[in-house]
Structure 1
Amino acid sequence: MSAGSDQHEATSGLYPGIIRIYAHVDGNVTTEKYLKAIKDGHSYVTMGPIFTPAANTMFGSTQKVPAGGKYTLHTEVQAVDGLARIDVYCEGKAIASQEFNNTQDAAQYTLIVEPTKNSWYSFVAIDSKGHYAVTNPIWVDVAGTVK
């Protein structure tokens, strides 16, 4: 239990044990590497759906895009209770959504965006029971723009 409001008391009535944090760890897993991956943002919080991001869509990473260029967001997502929907956010606003009809199969999701300024994107997946998974941002730096 490394996420959620119930860390202090796993027997509380508020989602006990359902909220989890997953992190991408390079190499062998150690406590130190796990904590570093969380600190670096290579993680997401979930109450159900599971993400497997593409290398260029690693949560917490910074991606470079040429001015006028396109960037491809790609992730795989799966939910034991069935994947209902995935939403993509840019700077906190929903910019895309796709329904998945509560499939239990792993679903591939790709979105091509054309950022015009430095920005960020994140995914939210929702399963058939209304449980969410929310990723850390993928930062996108557009060449030639001011930070």
Structure 2
Amino acid sequence: MLYGLLGGGMIGLAATLLLWLNGRIAGISGIAFGLADRARSDTAWRVAFLLGLIAAGGLALQLWPHAPPREEFPRLLLIVAGCLVGVGTSMGAGCTSGHGVCGLGRLSRRSLAAVVTFMITAFITVFVVRHLVGASA
């Protein structure tokens, strides 16, 4: 619980600092998709932000090695799930970080609708995978 609280606080702080210092919303999919747009001239901060996310994950594994990533999931299933997340973020015009962390913090009704949709979809997915398909994860 302490790690979740600490991590959530760090995410909130990072999102707040990005908004205050750079005037940008910390929506990870928007930041990543912005890299694909060659017409943009704001590549440096996007790369720095995404590299910071990766570095923070690596640092966390070094500081807390007793919490390694879970290995029991089939790689193909993870790749398919990742692709579906990409499709979903495109369809939803944003991801959980953009809508959930930043949008709700700005009292956006659009983000509230998106987060409710994300959560209902997640509940249904967990039910189907655990109880109808029978996967144990």
What TM bracket, shorter-length normalisation?
under 0.3
Quick check: which one's strand share is greater?
Answer: 1
Alignment TM-score, normalising by the size of structure 1: 0.20
Alignment TM-score, normalising by the size of structure 2: 0.21
